[in-house]
Amino acid sequence: MGLIIYLNGKYVPEEEATISVFDHGFLYGDGVFEGIRAYHNSVFRLKEHVDRLYDSAKAINLTVPMEREEMAEVVLETCRKNNLRDAYIRLVISRGKGDLGLDPRKCSVPTIVCIASSINLYPQELYEKGMEIITVPTRRNNPEGVNPRIKSLNYLNNIMAKIEANISGAAEALMLNEEGYVAECTGDNIFMVKDGVLKTPAKHLGLLEGVTRNEVIRLAKEAGLQVEETTFTRYDLFVADEVFLTGTAAEIVPVTKIDARVIGNGKPGPVFAKLLDSFRAAVKEPEAVIFK
């Protein structure tokens, strides 16, 4: 028995969840998406994810034919249809069916898809021992090109960097912006700790403003940590006391080696451990409940 997929107002078996080959999301990557998590019968930070989805759509001049509250209910109902209390959820809005030309005006109705399933991004061992990442040649998109703050269907920039990491045998790839400053990884935001201060790249440096990133910043401030959204280079990561990544799918995962440099003492650090405990407590708080 396959999954039940939301597709343009209907819940259909995954085998019937088909779109036109003329859909501009398929032809040109013209659309936006969100990855969302459900824990313990509750969708985590659903409002924040839906808000980011609509912001991304607005940035590419894509009008979503559905109110935000209705979109949130689609997420919950898709989980219900699949009897999922813990899930990874993917919301996708494409420009819709058009022709072989680029002109988005030829696409009259957006395509809306919601998938609820599961995902295991990294093996458990990496959360316990830490992961190794490398810096790759592929630079993060210029904000005046395809702005990284738009979570668009055009992920080729990230995929090229991921390919470079795969070839090198690394679990993730660190991406710099055009000026050589640290931006983010292919699917995760990056944090470092130095002398008790938690630092992460500022949003203007060319990165996606992650929902988990913002949650970790909130939890760190609640714990009394000094937090800086700032500019730094690979050097600062090499000499950091701790480094870790955050993302919806990854959650929080420690980094213990970057470009063959051991970070700190080579083990996941105390700030990471404290924030992981806080995050795990936060996801248990009832929020957007799936089953009443």
The answer to whether 30 touches 94, Cβ cutoff 8 Å, is yes
Active-site entry in 10, 47, 81, 151: 151
Report the C-alpha gap between 214 and 5 in whole angstroms: 29
Residue the block writes with tokens 């980011």: 52
Report the C-alpha gap between 143 and 138 in whole angstroms: 15
Supply 118's token pair: 């599961």
Q: Would you report the helix, strand and coil content of the chain in percent, each value rounded to 5?
A: 30, 30, 40
Residue the block writes with tokens 């988005």: 104
Is residue 151 annotated as a catalytic residue, yes or no?
yes
Report the C-alpha gap between 222 and 25 in whole angstroms: 40
- Alpha carbon of residue 284 to chain centroid: 20
> If 0-12 CB within 10 Å is exposed, 13-18 middle and 19+ buried, where does residue 30 land?
buried
What would the DSSP string read from start to end of 154-177? --HHHHHHHHHHHHHT-SEEEEE-
Residue the block writes with tokens 């990496």: 126
Report the C-alpha gap between 256 and 48 in whole angstroms: 30
Short-list 200, 197, 288, CA closest to 247: 200
Report the C-alpha gap between 253 and 123 in whole angstroms: 10
Supply 174's token pair: 């660190």
Active site residues: 151
